[in-house]
Amino acid sequence: MDLKETEISSKEAFRGNFISVSVETVNLPNGKTASRELVDHRPAAAAICINNEKKMLLVTQWREAVKQLTLEIPAGMIDVTDVSPLDAMKRELNEEGGLKAEYWEKVSEFYTSPGFSNEKLYLYYCDTLSQVENKLALDDDEFLTADWYSLEELKNLLTEGKIVDAKTIYAISVWENMLLTGSQG
């Protein structure tokens, strides 16, 4: 059975600075039609940042969509001025942590919630960190703190339900696997 849906029509319902929302009518594999509400989102980059004490950098910030503080790996949208997702992540590491890394490795790229959004996230691993001389300012509407966590602390925070961000949960799993296999970290 062919599972592909075919777009019949699309109407933009909203356009903002970072996202747009459209409503599509699609033909289903069984010949019927359905409506799809879709979010077009700029791609983003995130990083598993590990210091020489074998701790991961997380930032704490308020997320209005879930009305709570969240613990997350450093991340940010890829701007039009960025040459690549890695350049965006280097900028974000500078802004959010005041750091630069000597070693970078692309871990994966994935869609954050493909049921309704096309947001693609590029995940990197970095270590061999040092403070930057010229820290970039956070965005005007961005407020956060940054702290370091051991794998044991991260696993406890997961068990306690204090880490609820999917990219961060995935990043912790990836880092733990890297430690177990000796591939990095």
- CATH number where 154 lies: 3.90.79.10
Residues 23 and 63 in one domain: no
pLDDT for 54-67, tens place per residue? 999 999 999 999 99
Question: Binning pLDDT at 50, 70 and 90, where does residue 185 land?
Answer: low
* Count of domains observed in the chain: 2
Residues 143 and 94 in one domain: yes
Residues 31 and 62 in one domain: no
Residues 150 and 65 in one domain: yes
Tell me the Cα Rg of the chain. Answer: 19
Residues 32 and 46 in one domain: no
> What mean pLDDT value characterizes the chain?
94
> Is 72 domain-assigned?
yes
Q: Which letter, b or e, does each residue of 58-70 get, where b requires 16 or more Cβ atoms within 10 Å of its Cβ?
A: bbeeeeeeeeeeb
The answer to whether 56 and 151 are in contact (CB under 8 A) is yes
Residues 94 and 36 in one domain: no
For position 112, what pLDDT does the model report? 95
Closest CA to 112 of 175, 43, 58, 48: 43
pLDDT for 18-52, tens place per residue? 899 999 999 999 999 999 999 999 999 999 999 99
Structural domain including 16 reads 6-40
Residues 22 and 106 in one domain: no
Strand partners, 11: 23
> Is 13 domain-assigned?
yes
Q: What pTM was computed for the model?
A: 0.92
Residues 70 and 158 in one domain: yes
> Is 1 domain-assigned?
no
